[in-house]
A and B are shown apart, each in its own frame.
Chain A
Amino acid sequence: MTDHTGIVTVRAYAELNDFLPKKWRQREFTYPLNGGFSLKHLIESAGIPHTEIEIILLNGKSVDFNCIVKPGDRISVYPVFESLDITPLLRLRPEPLRKTRFVLDVHLGKLALILRLLGFDAGFPGNIPDEELAEISAGEGRILLTRDTMLLKRSIVTHGCYLHSQDPEEQAHEILERLDLRESIKPFTRCLDCGAFLETVDKKEIINRLEPLTKEYYNEFKRCSQCHKIYWKGSHFESIMGLLQRLGVNQMGDKD
């Protein structure tokens, strides 16, 4: 019978150190082994959610999360590589989802608005238990966005992103960079309220719903295909363009 009691040596690289206690950051550390644990279990026990990991090397060899750890093993854990060719190595995270869709945790209401402004399908179910949020992510193929590491450690979550910043605009930057989404941005195409697509609507059709000054000064309108909320390029349009520019969106306007 294999003895699984002892210690292993672990080293986390780059931003994965953010999840570790200070004493373990940017250095090798030993971790006690009290049973036959998988790599996923061991690394998440140390603090790093599996959704944040791209590559694991066990004694120099690329392995997956299910590998059982033995005493004396040396484990190196790497985050997403931005520019390094890792073709020979085993990529741990599943293939990217065919459609980029999100579901956001309750504390990310303002990020949900920004993502919808950029044209992404950003589900925001509000105050529901973590278990249900994880089920929505898995069942609907949505990338789970959260600052809750415990939520990302759930096995059912295959596509998730931990957000390092607490600022919604910086969080949007994080998502756009990490998932390389800048080419997918289609600003002003979704309803901020419900997230459904907007459609162009004739002014005559909605004129009874417009305020007097809006009737007088604006002629182009869009309407939500689901909740029927009306949008036009009002006085704050320039400020919203400023937000898009800060997010690095070069092509503005009505991309349909």
Chain B
Amino acid sequence: MKYLLSIIFLLVTAATSSGTIEILSERYYPIDLSLSPIRIEGYQLLESGGTRISVIEGSYCQSNSWIIETDSLGNTVSIDVDSVYNLPSLSMAEFPGANERWMVAEDEHGDTLWKCPLEGTDILYFDQPMIIELPDGGYLVECRPDCQTNVTDIQRNSIDGEMLWHLSLGTNYLLDLPEPDGEVYPFVECMRETSSGDLLIGGSVSQWLTSADACFVTLIDGSNGKAVWKTLEYALGEARILDVIETVSGYIVAVGETAESVSPQNQSYCFWGAKQPLLIVLDDEGTLLNLEAFNLEKMDSFKSIIELEEHSTDGNEFLIAGVDSSTCELVLVRVCLTNIE
């Protein structure tokens, strides 16, 4: 289904306070977003000088995807629903006599290709894990608990469903807490593979059910599932990472949202204040190089980021996806990072 080009176009050039992160443009697209997460899946320069951008909302099992084509001036030429669905189709299942949940892969006829148990899911777990398909055809699966536990289970599978390793990512590790403190598991919001095969994982974590959320990024050794380093930030008071990437030059850029932490007097309860988009830059050892919260009129969160091939003379350019907070439509923001050291 095609949408005609009737796009609101707004160009904003708003240098941030540090001068190292510059928003080059915001463009709005008439795509209603109802699921989360949102991910920019692909970006391609066309011979015409235009671009083709692929955006996905939802999880591996339940998702919508669109292809946006622009001309050389950045104006939208077309928006198509991407009707191709990935094979195999993955779903979760419980089998009589088995304690764990299982991941089942089926072909287009519904025949089972393979199935494997999900490590650690013998306690209560949601039936909607996060599944990321990796370049080698394997999968990274995150299972979100439905009980008070301070670990989230992450499992690396091969292309034919064999478990290669399993990691219990703990709140205690992320917050440097002694065992057994911490009643809430880390909320993993994004998982990406680096050029060397390691894994970047981002999300939010808090010690108690109602205490302030910190955002985190952690690097996991892709060969054995061991955590290599972690970075934790509260930004304006509460924060959450929604996507994280490794840049061509080896830096790590993460996006998400942050807000003032609002806590009634004499209480340990924290509410999020008004959200703002967040961008942080780390070096390859997880050291924080830059953190910026943006005050944008129509966006309160950066959902996904990719690095663009074309660079300006001053720095690296990135495309960030967000949502217009008043219309729930897709917004793509082009950002330039300069002088990151």
Residues of A within 8 A of B (CB): 15, 18-23, 25, 105-107, 109-110, 113-114, 117, 126-127, 129-130, 147-151, 164-166, 168-169, 192-193, 214, 229-232, 234-236, 239-240, 242-243, 246
Provided the pairs A113-B269, A127-B147, A230-B266 are in contact, do residues A166 and B36 lie with their beta carbons within 8 angstroms?
yes
B189 to chain A, nearest CB (A): 8
Provided the pairs A18-B62, A240-B262 are in contact, do residues A106 and B148 lie with their beta carbons within 8 angstroms?
yes
- Which of B121-129, B247-255, B282-290, B309-317 is found at the contact surface with chain A? B121-129
CB of B272 closer than 8 Å to a CB of A: yes
Give bound CA distance, A232 to B267, whole Å.
12
Provided the pairs A192-B269, A239-B260 are in contact, do residues A113 and B89 lie with their beta carbons within 8 angstroms?
no
Give bound CA distance, A129 to B146, whole Å.
9
Main secondary structure of the interface of B (DSSP, over half): loop
Instruction: Determine which of B124, B146, B210, B274 lies in contact with A246 in the assembled complex, contact meaning CB atoms within 8 Å.
Output: B274
Residues of B within 8 A of A246 (CB): 274
Instruction: Determine which of A23, A150, A164 lies in contact with B89 in the assembled complex, contact meaning CB atoms within 8 Å.
Output: A23
A234 touches B89 (CB 8 A): no
A21 touches B62 (CB 8 A): yes
Residues of B within 8 A of A21 (CB): 61-62, 89, 91
CB of B187 closer than 8 Å to a CB of A: yes
B89 touches A110 (CB 8 A): no
Provided the pairs A21-B61, A109-B210 are in contact, do residues A165 and B36 lie with their beta carbons within 8 angstroms?
yes
Provided the pairs A114-B271, A169-B272 are in contact, do residues A22 and B62 lie with their beta carbons within 8 angstroms?
yes
B151 to chain A, nearest CB (A): 14
A127 touches B148 (CB 8 A): yes
B239 to chain A, nearest CB (A): 13
Provided the pairs A21-B89, A23-B89, A192-B269 are in contact, do residues A234 and B63 lie with their beta carbons within 8 angstroms?
no
Instruction: Determine which of A25, A129, A148 lies in contact with B126 in the assembled complex, contact meaning CB atoms within 8 Å.
Output: A148
Instruction: Determine which of A15, A18, A240 lies in contact with B264 in the assembled complex, contact meaning CB atoms within 8 Å.
Output: A240
26 contacts between A and B (CB under 8 A): A18-B35, A22-B63, A25-B62, A106-B148, A107-B144, A109-B184, A110-B271, A114-B271, A126-B209, A127-B147, A127-B148, A129-B124, A150-B127, A164-B35, A193-B267, A193-B269, A232-B265, A236-B264, A236-B265, A240-B264, A240-B271, A242-B262, A242-B273, A242-B274, A243-B273, A246-B274
Give bound CA distance, A85 to B275, whole Å.
37
Residues of A within 8 A of B260 (CB): 239
Residues of A within 8 A of B266 (CB): 229-230
Give bound CA distance, A191 to B293, whole Å.
33
Residues of A within 8 A of B263 (CB): 236
A108 — nearest CB in chain B belongs to which residue? B209
Provided the pairs A22-B62, A22-B63, A148-B146 are in contact, do residues A168 and B272 lie with their beta carbons within 8 angstroms?
yes
The 3 closest A-B pairs by CB, nearest first: A109-B209, A234-B265, A127-B148
Kindly identify, within residues 183 to 242 of chain B, every residue whose CB is under 8 Å from any CB belonging to chain A. 184, 187, 209-210
B61 touches A106 (CB 8 A): no
A92 to chain B, nearest CB (A): 23
CB of B112 closer than 8 Å to a CB of A: no
B213 — nearest CB in chain A belongs to which residue? A110
A105 touches B273 (CB 8 A): no
Interface 1/0 per residue, B25-37 and A, CB below 8 Å: 0000000001110
A149 touches B265 (CB 8 A): no
Residues of B within 8 A of A114 (CB): 271
A176 to chain B, nearest CB (A): 16
Give bound CA distance, A166 to B272, whole Å.
13
Q: Which of A23, A130, A240 has the most CB of B within 10 A?
A: A23
CB of B3 closer than 8 Å to a CB of A: no
Give bound CA distance, A117 to B269, whole Å.
11
B208 — nearest CB in chain A belongs to which residue? A109
B273 touches A110 (CB 8 A): no
B148 touches A23 (CB 8 A): no
B146 touches A107 (CB 8 A): yes
Residues of B within 8 A of A151 (CB): 146
A243 touches B262 (CB 8 A): yes
Residues of A within 8 A of B9 (CB): none
Instruction: Determine which of B34, B144, B267 lies in contact with A192 in the assembled complex, contact meaning CB atoms within 8 Å.
Output: B267
Give bound CA distance, A243 to B89, whole Å.
40
Give bound CA distance, A15 to B328, whole Å.
15
A169 — nearest CB in chain B belongs to which residue? B272
Residues of A within 8 A of B63 (CB): 22
A105 touches B274 (CB 8 A): no
Instruction: Determine which of B58, B85, B146, B262 lies in contact with A106 in the assembled complex, contact meaning CB atoms within 8 Å.
Output: B146
Residues of A within 8 A of B35 (CB): 18, 164
Kindly identify, within residues 127 to 143 of chain B, every residue whose CB is under 8 Å from any CB belonging to chain A. 127-128
Residues of A within 8 A of B274 (CB): 242, 246
Give bound CA distance, A229 to B63, whole Å.
45
